[in-house]
Structure 1
């Protein structure tokens, strides 16, 4: 395997499948099987998941809601998704722990770096919920922060697109896909990979990012095996 410890970033929208909102149990089960396959190979897996399929703080703020309140609602949405993913993984017989930056002891452990690392060493998948626990920070920022803290080898950003393009491939069939690109080039070209706070944090800590299509079965295994799936961003 190419990597020993990975941080998998999933968007909340990814859990919707073909639905307009909420969680698609079929898509959830597919993700659980993909994750199980790499765990069985000895890969240590941590996961940060968004909450956009349930609620977005920014969207709430644009409709007149207080931004801070909206962001906290979004954090709780990520906990709901984390619980759903935990259930799917345990149905697939994958030992799992859910840790949250906001204390909700009845359903999850509080985030403690050393405890999270120990779980990973024991082969448990650790799901990090509620983002960073602070408003104005996205789950992208949470993913990079947690990856740095647990000393992950790479951030795997699973999306519905098979990499980074110079233009939106869903709007332009002639868009060019990058197999490798530097952090500096992403900034210079104005490409949308993560929000800028998360992206610069990853760059400063020399933590590579791989953007790939998570909705194609087997792609996750190909990525951790070192195949050129998706687009890799690093300090070239």
Structure 2
């Protein structure tokens, strides 16, 4: 049986300043018990500060978005060579806010995953359904389409490296959380879809849950057989809450 080490990631979105970055990371460093891997996604302007504060620690860091283009006339974008210069280990790709607010398509996201893998950065691929889609009973169809686009672009072997984050859009920033059983059901579907391509790869792929994870719900979520950690939004801006989530991990 493959043991997947729990990973908990903090997505700070467009929040924070130099002072809060320093105070949060200082608290994270002192509070973690080491039972989970931890990654932090600050706004791009604070990546250099995070890199400095996290050197000589086990806490990884990354960017919230990347371009699939190598360089050129793409105002406002970040290339993967820039990301690599700051030793970012991860890139968040396809977050529901990027899909919904910025119109990123499955095809664009797949190309970003491909470019990220080629650069040696680990893609954290976000997938998930809206409330309307869940209520229409098409959750599995939506998730299948989103993953298939990436499989078609990079193949199943790439999921040895890719981290998947399942985020039901209806549970992000709403205070609603999928029950551990609801989340597990979708995680099991995702792993089953990957296993149909390669069971050994599927057994190793880390699938995180992202959707209003709190310290109070973390242990029950992380205790599910196919939930390998969390992608945490609002709660990651509260030091004690995020540390408690990380320390709830099953190791």
TM-score by shorter chain over 0.5? no
More helix by share: 2
Query: Greater strand share, 1 or 2?
Result: 1
TM-score w.r.t. the length of structure 2 is: 0.38
